[in-house]
Amino acid sequence: MNDLLRAIKPTVFVGSSKKDLRAFPAAVRSEIGQSLFEAQLGEHPRNAKPLKGFSGVLEIRDNFDGDTYRTVYTTRLEGVLYVLHAFQKKSTSGIATPQRHIDLVRQRLRDAEAIHKATKGDR
């Protein structure tokens, strides 16, 4: 097997994150897709920043046509990239992530941990 293929972390989309990401404009999907691929390779995408209040959870931001799109993921669970949430940021709260999105990320992180435990076992 090719070393590159061996190095790529599998990706698991939690909740509606895949459907939500697919609803983004094509240019945004392309940019975020490239960033997620870099994360799968163990790299740190240039447009990813730690999500405040979480350990090992990152947020990819992309601006397009006056709107901001965000995708939240984690690689802290051994060997797997979990996409937790994808959403279009509305500017009602400045640059801060609205609490409802933070709550959803927190719940989906718990879901990802449960999925990981069920599929990988305790290591």
Predicted model pTM: 0.89
Q: Report pLDDT digits (tens) over 46-99.
A: 999 999 999 999 999 999 998 999 999 999 998 999 999 999 987 655 677 888
Tell me what pLDDT residue 92 has. 54
- Residue 2 pLDDT grade (very low, low, confident, very high; cuts 50, 70, 90): low
Residue whose C-alpha is closest to residue 34's, from 19, 42, 45, 23: 45
Assign residue 121 a region (left: φ > 0; alpha: ψ between -120 and 50; beta: otherwise): left
Locate 45 and state its tokens.
Answer: 């995408």
Q: Provide mean pLDDT across the span 104-120.
A: 95
Tell me what pLDDT residue 93 has. 59
- Residue 123 pLDDT grade (very low, low, confident, very high; cuts 50, 70, 90): very low
Locate 91 and state its tokens.
Answer: 């500017």
Tell me what pLDDT residue 18 has. 98
Q: What does the angle CA 100 – CA 105 – CA 109 come to, to the nearest 5 degrees?
A: 150
Topology given in CATH for the domain delimited by 3-120: YaeB-like fold (3.30.2310)
Provide the residue ranges of all domains of the chain, joining segments of one domain with +.
Answer: 3-120
